[in-house]
Amino acid sequence: MSNESIKRTLGVALAVCVVCSVLVSTATVALKPLQEANKAKETKKNILMAAGIYHDGIDIDQAFSKVEARLVDLKTGKFIEGDATAYDVRKMAKDPKESEKIPAKLDMAHIRTKAPKAVIYMIHKDGALETLILPIYGKGLWSTMYAFMALQGDGNTVKGLSFYDHGETPGLGGEVDNPRWKALWPGKTLFDQQHNLQIRLPKQAVDNNLPESIHQVDGLGGATLTTRGIENLIRFWMGSEGYGPLLKQIHGQGV
């Protein structure tokens, strides 16, 4: 093959690469608004699922119009003025300038750092808090697991738990997606009457005849480490390092 043929071949290959790069970049930019809209709708869907509102055929945007997003200072549990929809918790948790390091002995969720603020969701009825939806996350066996936990207006009774992002083993830890397991959560309570955190996921099946069963949910069969991760991340976020200060206010005064 002559040098001229080699140059022509390389030139054509380079031109194809440039054209393809331009097309991919253009498509990425053009589709970004659609991708962001789909991501926002999926988030709304998962919040509604945790609250027990979602069903097939529902108008997600219309149903979500009843949901109020608020920024919360995790240290004080008090609301902060600002655009909650613009606050990226995941990004802030990874930003060395914005995030807070969690002491190792308190880091039950094994996330190391957290954002100083959180975005929570509320549904009010007749002026009173009806449902509180809290984003929670932490390490499972193979992945960081992300979920929404919905509580009744008392800030204690569970309405639902919905994991929406995880990489746990299908058929084992992946059973967090099983509707039968998720159906075990509604009606369980996080705290006792003295507001001590009591929620647990024991290895053995829960005996519903025992008084402590109100704070217990069956663990995932064959997925001990994932189950432990779920219990730890829930206890972390419902404790003093997470939404504990907010829940104390709700428990004592209402919001």
- Cross-strand pairs, 113: 101
- pLDDT for 27: 58
The residue among 30 and 234 whose pLDDT is bigger is 234
For the whole model, what pTM was predicted? 0.84
3-class SS of residue 168: coil
pLDDT band at 30 (very low <50, low <70, confident <90, very high): low
> Average pLDDT of 52-76?
94
Report d(CA 122, CA 255) in Å as an integer: 10
> For the segment 108-134, what is each residue's pLDDT rounded down to a tens digit?
999 999 999 999 999 999 999 999 999
Alpha carbons 145 and 165: distance in angstroms, whole number: 6
17 pLDDT band, cuts 50/70/90, is confident
User: Which segment of 8-17, 192-201, 237-246 scores lowest on mean pLDDT?
Assistant: 8-17
Please report the pLDDT score of residue 14 as a whole number. 74
Asked if pLDDT for residue 20 goes beyond 90, the answer is no
Average pLDDT score, the chain:
89
Q: Cα dist. 124→34, 81, 94, 149 in Å?
A: 30, 18, 32, 17
Extract the runs of DSSP E, i.e. beta strands, from 103-191: 113-114, 117-125, 128-139, 144-152, 158-165
Which of 38-42, 57-61, 147-151, 250-254 is predicted least confidently?
A: 250-254
What are the tokens at 107?
């880091």
Secondary structure string (H, E, C) spanning 185-201: CCCCECECCCCCECCEC
